[in-house]
Structure 1
Amino acid sequence: MIAVIGGAGYIGSHTVKYLIQQGRKVVVFDNLSTGHREFVPSHIPFVNGDLANKNDLNQLFKSYPDIDTVIHFAAFAYVGESVQQPSKYYQNNVINTIYLLDSMLDHKVKNIVFSSTCATYGNSVVSPIKEDHPQIPINPYGRTKLMMEQIMEDYSHAYGLNYVALRYFNAAGADIECEIGEWHEPETHLIPLILDVAIGKSEAISVFGSDFDTPDGTCIRDYIHVADLADAHSRAVDYLLVNSDNLKLNLGNGEGYSVLDIIKTVEEVTGKSINKIMSEKRAGDPARLIGSAEKAKQILGWYPQLKLEDIITTSWLWHMKKFGGTK
């Protein structure tokens, strides 16, 4: 059985759906602080618990003794917020995750797929970024994830923990069947914010920074469809069940798109004109983050299937279904 921590959230719920489709046994653990109960199918075991509560964790593993692998999504993940509220991030993303690791080991569960991030790299020295790129995060969010990679390495040496750390680039898109999608409150992610303009929910999209060292002056990111991320997590579980060595892998498309590229693609997919407000850069935002996923392809046999137009199209269909608007 796989325990999906944070399985009612955005990436977690898509991964849960994918695992179920594969016929795997899953239990979801989530405190619903940012996740959505309706994203978890009613027939799937659900534990409303908090990583900060050791009793909740102990009860999870006692109630489901056949858990052999954990997938951990339950982290705060807003760069700007991490700069403003670092305590919140170190408490949840580091201390509470240590509680999870300790509870796993107490119950003899030694496999974990960990949701890491390209933010551990900081400003890229070369592009695309490979896994051996220097890890010099420039914001507290990235530092919390790097700390956990290092802590898991120490736990591996000391206690025999087995882990795969998946360093995502920008997760985006929605469920192909439009049952679940990207739904944050408040919303801070670029694509749904642009779609808010497309449906008339917002008047304009703020573009943070127009003088980055990029062709059009706006920052460049590597976008990966959430369904492709779900597939990678499933493959990582398979890897852990038959291998005892640890992995740190990038997950991305290997292609970079600027903020203005994204806005243009949204306009093409939706047929709507998107108003823009050029604003100041945000603290902690690197100019360019593009990843090489060659290692994941070689080791896991994972290849991203969905492109930017698929990301925008599925996001648009979900956004209209959830938040209104017309085609």
Structure 2
Amino acid sequence: MTRQLDIVFLGLSLSSSWGNGHATTFRGLLKGLHQLGHRVTFLERDVPWYANHRDLRDPDFCALRYYETVQELQRDYARCLQQADVVVIGSFVPEGRAVIDTVASLCKGQLCFYDIDTPVTLAKLSADDCDYLSWRQIPYFDIYFSFAGGPMLADLTQTFGARRAEPLYCSVDPERHHRTADPIGWDLGYLGTYSADRQATLNALLLEPARRMPDRRFVVAGSQYPSDIDWPDNVERIEHLPPADHAAFYSRQRYTLNVTRSSMIAAGWSPSVRLFEAAACGTPIISDRWPGLDSFFPASTIHTARMADEVVAILSRESARTRLAMADRARELVLASHTGAARAREFITALTQKGAVVVDLDIGSAA
């Protein structure tokens, strides 16, 4: 049995899911840690674009606190950081380099990095264009937790100097993501913030099928799409969909589309949280293809496609029985292995293996 840990996270955002996927990931992990009995504090930079779109103001699974500057972080939260058993800094934290230096000077427990954007981060580091992490800081961390697994873990240690790299993939909260009673409203849908490197795939796998199938209904939910996109008349647009509405959104789709960023495709082993969310809701998935996908979703649990013809064929020919059987297999897999509780256990196990903070209650002393 492990003792209760004081864990502090500094991440991009917990309070707002607007325009970022970090909030959903942190929420699942932190809720899982809370369920395991650990005390969690999340420190978030108070910025207007998230302050104006907060959809989680008072979480019941952690203490959520804000700071406006690095100086304020050091002044107001020094004791919190010094007393923590574990401090975890996430990717894309504003002024991340200065935050890391400040926290490293205060942290007396384990210091970890949680990279929710690993392929992007390593590309930025290689180009000397990363403002939230510097190459020299990577050895500061006892564990470098990575959203991407596979060969990238070896790259982190062998090329970038990480002491230890561990995968910590995204996850789903089954209490929030489950089948609802909402009737099917769309044949194919997509949920995701606009990204230039995803748009060509979205065009090929959703917009083009929509043009070819004018009697079918499609939907795209997400913010920041350019005004010059030519949306077919049978594609409904939802500007922003808060996490509380995700389950109903997935449940209303006959199929949902997963589109992966180019850097994640190149890296492989980088599942999107949308995959796990949709599967937990029992919605059949059509995904682009990338290395490692079958290690999360075997062929019997998911469709993959590269071109519009394949999507049109799936929508036109697959029986409801086959479609739902595939979705059921995906749902069982995700609920068994990809929940926030599962990720929390993996996180604590990684710390246990490090042997610095997790102790046996019967012994009562540090290992």
User: Structure 2 length normalisation: TM-score?
Assistant: 0.40
Max Rg structure: 2
User: Structure 1 length normalisation: TM-score?
Assistant: 0.44
